[in-house]
Structures are given as C-alpha cells and as structure tokens.
Chains A and B, each alone.
Chain A
Amino acid sequence: MKNKTLVIVIGIAVILAVYFVGVQRGLVNLSEDVSASWGDVEVQYQRRADLIPNLVETVKAQAIKEQEIFTQLAEARAKLSGAATLEDKINANEGVSSVLGRLLAITENYPELKQNQGFQDLRIELEGTENRIAVARKYYNDNVKVYNKRIKVFPTNIAANILGFNDEFPYIKAEAGAEKAYEVKF
C-alpha cells in the first residue's frame, strides 16, 4: 500500500516536472521571438531618428510660419532619449511619429519646399522608414499577441506564474493618421 502511494506521488511529480519544462521552454522561445522582433522595430526607429536633424535643417531653411512645431519635435526627441522601459520607448517613438506627421502636413502648404530636391529625397526616405516601421511593428505585435495569450491561458498561466513569466509585453499602437501624411505625391 505504501509502495503504491509512493509510485503515484513520484508519477505526479514526474508529470509536473515534464509539464513545467515544456512550459518554460515554450515561453522562453516565444519571449525571444518578441525580443528579436522588438530589435527590428528599434533599428527602424533609430533610422528615422537619424533622419530628423536633416529634415529639420531643410525645413528651417525655408522659413515656415509654424515655428512651434520645432519645439514640439525637440520635446518629442528629448522624451526619446529619456525613455528606459519598453513601454516608454514605444510611447516616445509614437510621439515622434505624430509630430513628424504634423510637420509633413504643414510642409504641404509650402510649394517651394516641395520643389526642393533635398526635401523631396528626405520625404521618400522617411516614407520608406515609416513603412519599415509599420512592417516591423506588425511582426512585433504578432509575436506579442502569441506570448501574451500563452501566459494568460489556463493552465499555462499557473505554470507561467510560478516560473516567473508574469509580465505581458506592451503592444505598439500606431498613432491613427500619422502615416497618412507620408504619402509622397508628385
């Protein structure tokens, strides 16, 4: 009788161990996917940030009325460098998106700026970068969705909790309308 109980206890322990190993491996894989796709997003965010000084220079040279946009852009960029957590970084970058979108919308009112070859090229580069961000963001969000679902769904959620996979990854929500301003028209 004693033997039987022992066998059952060991049996359950083995089952649980195998299960936990399975959950752990699965979640590590998924969170690595999220991290990798976040890396791609960050590369594109950086690429865009690198274009901003040139853009500001070109636009400033044309003397536009709406000077407050440059202050807003400077503030948005300051937030960028101050961001530490993933969520802060996402918010700061989406903040940059919306200010940039507004800046480009403003430039629509300045025909001489639109004629400027340097500005035209910058716009195309920005448009390309914005599209790369959109693609990278989609992959990132897809991966986040899989991971977040997994750690919330029963019974994985119990094991995930015990193993320390508690935190959901934040989604990147695109600023509505921010991308529209990038359409290059001739």
Chain B
Amino acid sequence: MKLLRLPAAFLIILLLVTMGLGIVDVQAAEPKIPNPTAEFYFNDFAKMLDSSTGQDIVRLGESTFKSTEGGQVVFVSVDTLNGSTIEEYSNAVFNKWKIGTKDKGILFILSKQERESRIEVGYGYEGVLTDLESNKLLTKFSELNKEKGMDEAVKAIYLDICSIVNGDGDSVQYPNSSETRRQTNIENSFVEEHPILAAIAGIIILILIILDFILTGGRVTFFILRMAAASARRGGGGRNSGGGGRSGGGGSSSRF
C-alpha cells in the first residue's frame, strides 16, 4: 500500500495539472485549403494558365524574395471557393501557408467559377500596398484580361506587385491614367535568350570539371559545391515555403 501511494499521488497531480492547463484545442470551421505546390509562388490549381507563365512567376517571386529580404508574393488560382467568400478563403490560405517573412507577404488569388479576384496583403505590407492600390490593380487585371488574355494579365499584375514591394511603385501604371502603359513583359533568362552561348558555357564548365577530376581528384569541384550548398542553406530559408507571415484581411477584392 505504502509503495503505491507515491506513484498514485504523482498520477493525480499529473492528471489535475493537465486538466488545469488544458489540452482541449478548439478549432473553428475553416474553408478547406489545399497545400501549396513545391514552387510555392505559383499555384495554378484551376489550370487557367500556361506553364511558361508559371516559370516566369516563380523566377520573379524568388528574386523578389531575395531583394526584399523575405517578402513573398504568391499567386493562386482555385476552381471554386466552396461557398466561402473570397475574403475568408484568401485569409485562410494566407495564414495557413504563412506567406512572407515578418508578415511581408502578398497573395494574388483568382477563383475560376465565381470569377472573383483578390489581392490579400499581409500585416507587413499594409503600408506598402494600400487597399486602394490593390483595387486599382484588380481593375487593371480585369481590363488586361479582356485585352490580352489571362496569362498576360496575371504576369502584368504579378510584376506590378513585385515592383511595389521592391519600392518601385512609381513605375506601376494604373488604368485611366494619361501616361502610356508600360511594357510589362517579364525579362527572359539568359539561357532562353542566348541558347548557343549558354551551351558553350556549359561545355567549358564540363571540361573544367573533368580536368579538375583528372588533376586534383575533384577537389576544386567539391569545394565549390560545398560553398554553394552552404550559401543556399543561409539564403534559402523560406524560399519555397511560407515565411511565417500573417494577414489581418488587408487588400481588396473584385470580380473579373
């Protein structure tokens, strides 16, 4: 009996303390949100766009992440909102995916069936991209969509948002302004523009690597690889995943 008393008392304490601290977790009903794609910046769930548009957006998203030190601009298209409003849905996506480091995140979302569009702005960017500007961008999106098609419209708006978070908001053209509309093509990469030069560079690098393996047993190659891996670890945190951002519902919605 005596031997049992101590463990019994311990058990009771444990039971009471856990009840006191509470392990009951109350979860509110949320819209069902898909997981982000591996690219993170481009999530065309409704298959509305070309894959080349996706590549352009991912490239721009990654460079924006670096230039803004953690800012993330994410594009999402969904087939349906399943009865939620676009505001509820986009807020849930934003907070589930944790877009943006230090809340510096922006979500550009389209729903195919409802024909709704929204730009949701994280706490960290509320002063950078105001509701009014978001709304103007959506109006511009709707116009561009009619004029040039969905791919061009999405790219243009995505580029505009990136310009704004990069502190270059003055270059963004809104509809109804007298100035001429700026070219909004996303720059092609070096490889796409100069395929022959890129191929030659690739062959030279390959020869150098082979020489390195013959002469030093690959010491230089491994050194470079290690350096690259280390810098990728340093700079790549959150690159293709959420940075922990939250949104309080800033931004604007519109139909397109």
Interface residues of A (CB under 8 A from B): 11, 14-15, 18-20, 22-23, 25-26, 40, 44, 121, 124-125, 127-128, 131-136, 138, 141-142, 145-146, 149-150, 153, 155-156, 159, 184-186
Q: Which of A14, A138, A159, A185 lies in contact with B20, CB distance below 8 A? A: A159
The answer to whether B248 and A146 have CB atoms under 8 Å apart is: no
The answer to whether B87 and A15 have CB atoms under 8 Å apart is: no
Q: Which residues of A contact B19 (CB under 8 A)?
A: 19, 155-156
The answer to whether A19 and B249 have CB atoms under 8 Å apart is: no
Q: Which of B131, B248, B255 lies in contact with A135, CB distance below 8 A? A: B248
Which are the 10 A-B pairs with shortest beta-carbon distances?
A22-B20, A128-B131, A135-B249, A23-B20, A19-B16, A132-B249, A131-B249, A22-B17, A124-B135, A26-B21
Beyond A15-B12, A133-B249, 12 additional contacts (C-beta under 8 Å) are A15-B9, A18-B17, A23-B20, A40-B248, A128-B251, A128-B252, A131-B249, A131-B253, A135-B87, A149-B26, A155-B16, A184-B135
Tell me whether A19 and B135 are in contact in the complex, defined as CB-CB below 8 angstroms, given that A11-B9, A135-B249, A142-B26 are known contacts. no
Chain B's nearest CB lies how many Å from the CB of A143? 9
Chain B's nearest CB lies how many Å from the CB of A154? 9
Whether a CB of chain A sits under 8 angstroms from the CB of B250 is yes
User: Chain B 126-145, CB within 8 Å of chain A: the 1/0 string?
Assistant: 00000110110001000000
Q: Provide the bound-state CA to CA distance between A19 and B20, in Å.
A: 6
Whether a CB of chain A sits under 8 angstroms from the CB of B254 is yes
Tell me whether A184 and B254 are in contact in the complex, defined as CB-CB below 8 angstroms, given that A22-B21, A121-B132, A128-B131 are known contacts. yes
Whether a CB of chain A sits under 8 angstroms from the CB of B13 is yes
Closest B residue to A159 using CB positions: B20
A-B contact pairs, 17 of them (CB 8 A): A14-B13, A22-B17, A26-B22, A121-B132, A124-B131, A124-B132, A128-B134, A128-B250, A132-B250, A134-B249, A135-B249, A141-B28, A142-B26, A145-B26, A156-B19, A156-B22, A184-B135
Closest A residue to B254 using CB positions: A184
The answer to whether B139 and A186 have CB atoms under 8 Å apart is: yes
Q: Provide the bound-state CA to CA distance between A160 and B22, in Å.
A: 13
Q: Which residues of A contact B249 (CB under 8 A)?
A: 128, 131-136
Closest A residue to B251 using CB positions: A128
Greatest chain A CB density within 10 A among B131, B253, B254 is at B131
